């Protein structure tokens, strides 16, 4: 039978993960590979080249080509929260409200950091045939050019050219780009990122969401900056897009750590860690609209 301390940790961990991916989170629209996680890693295979299709062939025997898959092992990232000191652990243990108030800070920070890492991974490294990166082209707003409807349509056409399936496209707007669209047409865009009954609204074939956790690009080269890289002058933000079948997320272990009844602190110290990874599946069907810096 579990001890009281073990039961308490199980309850806290369960509460931490409750609604970790709300309807409004873009991570809720990625393929979930959590079932493939084994010892906080995913073992999958990078598929080889697909076969060619012959039309009205007259030459036999037909060529035989062996598909060679490359095994890949993906280690899940480790996200750790700083510890929180609870001065009255006996109140926390029995009060849901007090428990939730402590958990909220840890859950919110883990949500934010995992979303930042995922958004960075989902955005293309640079412009490519199957991973378009385009610039905003609207009127000047301070030192940048606003996003326009034409920019979204441009991204749509690039997805069309890459044969990205129509169903399952998602566009995640930076809030400043959302403001640009609202200024363009308040009636059409004021509630475009609302999620109603678990379903986001659609525009130009994209389900529309928003996040502040969009990655940064170099304005000159349109190269994505590193996740932990210092953002130099000339770096700029983006909105990003993906097809739901072309991005993945996976959850691993979640742990709570506690030092109960610490005599020096006169309380209990708690902290959490969580294993998580989010990546594009094939570096296809992903895109970005980078906010152009005016005059550069």
User: Mean pLDDT across the stretch 134-148?
Assistant: 96
What percent of the chain has pLDDT above 90?
Answer: 65
Domains of the chain: 1-14+23-43+78-296 (3.90.1690)
Output the CA–CA distances (angstroms, integers) from residue 79 to 76, 89, 111, 116, 225, in the order listed. 9, 25, 10, 12, 21
pLDDT of residue 158: 98
User: Mean pLDDT across the stretch 267-274?
Assistant: 88
DSSP string, 263-288: TTTTEEEEEEEEEEEEEESSS-SEEE
HEC secondary structure over 194-224: CEECCEECEECCEEEEECCCCCEEECCCCCE
In the predicted model, is pLDDT for residue 3 greater than 60?
no
The alpha carbon of 290 is separated from its chain's Cα centroid by a whole number of angstroms, namely 17
What is the crossing angle of helices 4-17 and 96-122, to 10°? 50
pLDDT of residue 261: 78
Output the CA–CA distances (angstroms, integers) from residue 81 to 207, 286, 288, in the order listed. 32, 30, 30
Summarize pLDDT for 172-215 with one digit per residue, the tens. 999 999 999 999 999 999 999 999 988 999 999 999 999 999 99
Cβ neighbours for 7, distance < 8 A, ≥ 6 positions apart: none
The CA distance from 7 to 258, in Å, is: 13
Q: What's the first-to-final CA gap in the chain, in angstroms?
A: 66
pLDDT of residue 111: 94
Cβ atoms 13, 253 nearer than 8 A: no
Residue 4: pLDDT band with limits 50, 70, 90: very low
Summarize pLDDT for 39-85 with one digit per residue, the tens. 999 987 766 677 888 888 888 888 888 877 777 889 999 999 999 88
pLDDT of residue 101: 78
Residue 103: pLDDT band with limits 50, 70, 90: confident
What is the token pair recorded at 275?
């294993």
The CA distance from 174 to 289, in Å, is: 10
Residue 91: pLDDT band with limits 50, 70, 90: low
Q: What is the pTM of this model?
A: 0.86
In the predicted model, is pLDDT for residue 88 greater than 70?
no
The four Cα atoms 160, 249, 33, 77 give a dihedral, to 10 degrees, of 140
């Amino acid at each position: 039978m579990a001890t009281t301390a073990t039961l308490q940790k199980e309850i806290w961990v369960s509460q931490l993960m409750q609604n970790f991916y709300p309807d409004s989170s873009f991570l809720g629209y990625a393929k979930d590979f959590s079932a493939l996680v084994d010892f906080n890693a995913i073992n999958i295979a990078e598929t080889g080249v697909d076969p060619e299709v012959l039309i009205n062939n007259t030459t036999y025997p037909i060529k035989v080509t062996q598909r060679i898959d490359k095994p890949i092992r993906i280690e899940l990232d480790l996200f750790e929260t700083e510890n929180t000191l609870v001065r009255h652990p006996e109140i926390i243990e029995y009060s849901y409200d007090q428990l939730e108030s402590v958990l909220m800070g840890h859950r919110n920070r883990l949500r934010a950091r995992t979303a930042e890492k995922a958004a960075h991974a989902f955005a293309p490294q640079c412009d490519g045939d199957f991973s378009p990166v385009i610039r905003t082209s609207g009127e000047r707003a301070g030192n940048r050019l606003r996003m326009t409807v034409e920019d979204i349509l441009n991204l749509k056409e690039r997805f069309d050219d890459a044969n990205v399936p129509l169903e399952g496209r998602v566009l995640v707007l930076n809030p400043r780009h959302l403001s640009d669209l609202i200024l363009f047409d308040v009636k059409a865009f004021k509630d475009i990122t609302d999620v109603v009954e678990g379903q986001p609204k659609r525009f130009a074939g994209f389900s529309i969401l928003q996040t502040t956790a969009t990655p940064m690009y170099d304005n000159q080269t349109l190269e994505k900056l590193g996740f932990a890289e210092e953002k130099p002058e000339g770096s700029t933000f983006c909105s990003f897009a993906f097809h739901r079948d072309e991005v993945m997320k996976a959850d691993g272990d979640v742990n709570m750590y506690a030092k109960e009844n610490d005599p020096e602190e006169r309380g209990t110290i708690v902290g959490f860690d969580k294993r998580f990874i989010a990546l594009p599946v094939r570096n296809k069907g992903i895109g970005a609209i980078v906010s152009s810096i005016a005059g550069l």
